[in-house]
Amino acid sequence: MGKYVWTAAGGVLILSLLAGAVWMVQAEEPYAPDQPIAFDHKLHVTDYNIQCFYCHTYVDRSPFAGVPSVERCMGCHLIVARDSPEIEKLRNYQQNGEPVPWIKVYALPRFVHFNHEAHLRAEVQCSDCHGAVESMTKVTRVHDLQMGWCVDCHRSEEASVDCLTCHY
Ligand code: HEC
Ligand code: HEC
Ligand code: HEC
Ligand code: HEC
Ligand code: HEC
């Protein structure tokens, strides 16, 4: 009987350790959704030297960095890698007049005010917030955009931590 109780207790302990381990693995798994087209930043930016601004054209001028249009991609892919099945998908979106339904990796709640322009003016680098995108084959979220993260950097950079800077 005593032995049975101990075995049961051991089983529960092992199960809860396992559950804890599974939970930790899940908690540490960074967010990197599969995209409708397997777009590879490392290939384009590092191997072929295409600059961030070429595709994210409005990042310094508007609140939204924007993702390039199908036409921008087809500027090259009319010719480059035209036989690839991934480029075939791109062509289909173009022929149907549809944008590629990219899944957002970074998104703030509506009640938070953010703009890229102010950050770029202050020479905060893309990589400070998005990590080394130029070496990612798939975009992976490196910061969870919690308020504490924004405020910590604002404090250390002597940027405003007034509530109304980010909420109004
Ligand atoms: C300035 C030119 C240029 C632009 C713009 C461009 N690409 Fe590319 N892309 C390339 C080059 C070069 C390669 C490598 C081709 C190779 O290895 O044969 C490539 C490769 C690819 C591949 C891999 C093809 C394969 O299966 O081998 C995909 C998918 C792709 N690009 C998608 C896109 C998408 C989506 C866009 C628009 C957001 C885009 N590209 C914009 C030049 C460009
Ligand atoms: C050839 C075009 C191209 C170039 C060059 C490019 N990007 Fe992108 N970027 C895309 C496309 C297409 C997506 C959407 C698909 C995806 O997330 O992979 C994207 C997505 C992103 C995202 C995620 C946006 C979100 O929230 O969903 C970030 C961040 C980003 N790019 C940063 C960069 C940085 C930094 C550079 C330069 C180091 C760069 N990109 C260069 C085409 C490009
Ligand atoms: C201070 C931090 C910070 C810096 C620096 C920064 N970003 Fe962002 N970026 C964000 C945040 C936060 C979002 C989500 C914004 C939202 O949802 O309103 C975002 C969103 C994006 C998106 C998705 C926009 C869309 O329209 O879906 C792209 C692409 C992007 N950033 C590219 C870049 C590039 C390229 C650079 C450098 C030129 C850069 N970012 C610099 C914090 C930053
Ligand atoms: C890596 C550092 C860093 C991070 C992370 C960061 N910021 Fe900033 N932020 C700055 C700096 C530097 C400025 C420029 C201050 C200035 O111009 O005086 C700034 C300015 C701003 C401004 C002022 C814009 C204006 O027009 O005056 C807003 C709003 C803002 N940040 C929101 C955010 C939000 C929201 C986040 C988190 C999602 C964030 N920031 C994350 C460094 C950062
Ligand atoms: C530099 C930008 C920034 C500043 C300054 C800032 N916040 Fe936030 N705040 C955020 C972001 C980003 C979120 C969203 C966090 C998330 O989605 O978890 C947020 C979320 C919140 C929320 C929602 C509650 C929650 O946890 O989701 C409240 C309430 C809030 N902030 C209050 C304040 C107050 C009060 C101040 C001033 C003392 C302040 N904030 C200053 C960026 C900021």
Amino acid making up residue 152 = D
What is the dihedral sign for C-alpha 142, 144, 145, 147? negative
Closest-CA residue, ligand 4 atom 26, reads: 118
Is ligand 4 within 6 A of the CB of residue 129?
Answer: yes
Residue 65: nearest ligand to its CA?
A: 3
Residue 105: nearest ligand to its CA?
A: 2
Is ligand 1 within 6 A of the CB of residue 139?
Answer: no
Q: What pLDDT was estimated at residue 2?
A: 45
Q: What pLDDT was estimated at residue 81?
A: 97
Alpha carbon distance 27, 21 (integer Å):
10
Residue 42: nearest ligand to its CA?
A: 2
CA–centroid distance for 157 within its chain: 23
pLDDT digits over 74-109, tens only? Answer: 999 999 999 999 999 999 999 999 999 999 999 999
Residue located via tokens 């070496």: 135
Measured from the Cβ of residue 150, the count of other Cβ atoms closer than 10 Å reads 19
CA of residue 36 to ligand 1 center, whole Å: 14
Over the chain (168 residues), the average pLDDT of each successive run of 10 is: 48 45 56 96 98 87 78 95 97 95 94 93 95 97 96 96 95
- Which residues lie closer than 8 Å to 161 by C-beta, 6 or more apart? 151, 154, 155
CA of residue 129 to ligand 4 center, whole Å: 11
CA of residue 25 to ligand 2 center, whole Å: 27
CA of residue 147 to ligand 5 center, whole Å: 5
Q: What pLDDT was estimated at residue 1?
A: 42
Is ligand 4 within 6 A of the CB of residue 141?
Answer: no
Amino acid making up residue 150 = C
